[in-house]
Each structure stands twice: as C-alpha cells, then as structure tokens.
Amino acid sequence: MVDVNTIVGDPVQTPDGNVILPISRVGFGFAAGGSQYKVHAKSTAPGAAQRPVNDDMPFGGGAGGGVSIQPTGFLVVGQGSVKLVSAEPGNQLYDKLIDLAPQVIDRIEAMTNRSKHIDKDVHPIV
C-alpha cells in the first residue's frame, strides 16, 4: 500500500537548478470486533405459548480501517546547500536551528583551531 514515494515524493526540479522533495507523514489504523449473544424468547401474555429458543448464537461484528497522509515539509537541495522547509505551522524555530547548525559547528571548529594556534605561540614546545 505504501512505497518510499509516498513518504518522500518524486523530486521536482526548478528552473534555477534547485531540486524539491516533498516529505509526508503516513499513518494507518485498523480495528475489528465481534460478539456472540444468546437470544431468549419470552412471552408477553400470561398463558401464551413459549417460542422455542434457537440454540445457535447469533454473531455481530464489524471492522474498519483508515489511512492518513499529511504533508510535513519540503527538502530543497541546490546551490551547495540543503534546506528543510516545514509545512507544519509553529516549526519555524526548529527549521532555523537546523539551518544554523552547520554554521555554528564551523565557528566552533574555527575557535578551537585558533585557540590551539594561540597556545602554541604562547607556550612554545622545547
């Protein structure tokens, strides 16, 4: 029922060279139930003849299912970067944090490399 193209859709190329991949959330749910019950025949009038009770137990049952496909965002690949654009309201903060993560890591690496160079200049190894 579901293949990978349901979750990550077919890529779409824009005129400026970017590739857009739609991303969706898929959910399934199924339920079933049943019961057997015994039927008792009761007379409504005094002295009336009783109907015979059928020994077979009637069965009642049902089943159902559902599918939900909800778009969650778009993955934009191009111009040397990958960006996630959320389709869900309220997730802009997370999108910005994800977009800034590579820059933060680069700055931390640059700071640690600078501190190593400074330590070598201040405390030369003999």
Model pLDDT for residues 34-66, shown as the tens digit of each residue: 988 776 665 565 655 555 555 566 788 999 999
91 phi, psi to nearest 5 deg: -100, 15
The mean of the pLDDT values for the chain is 76
- The answer to whether residue 4 scores a pLDDT higher than 70 is no
- The answer to whether residue 119 scores a pLDDT higher than 70 is no
pTM over 0.85: no
- The answer to whether residue 117 scores a pLDDT higher than 70 is no
Give Cβ neighbours of residue 72 (< 8 Å, ≥ 6 apart): 23, 24, 25, 86, 87, 88
* pLDDT top residue among 117 and 74: 74
pLDDT band at 74 (very low <50, low <70, confident <90, very high): confident
pLDDT of residue 33: 93
Domain extents in the chain: 1-32+60-88, 89-126
Give Cβ neighbours of residue 103 (< 8 Å, ≥ 6 apart): none
- The answer to whether residue 23 scores a pLDDT higher than 60 is yes
Distance separating alpha carbons of residues 106 and 3, to the nearest angstrom: 37
pLDDT of residue 115: 67
Going by C-alpha positions, the residue among 68, 87, 76 that lies closest to residue 16 is 76
Torsion of CA 100, 102, 104, 106, to 10 degrees: -150
Q: What is the DSSP letter of 89?
A: T
Distance separating alpha carbons of residues 61 and 56, to the nearest angstrom: 16
Q: What is the arithmetic mean of pLDDT over 80-101?
A: 73
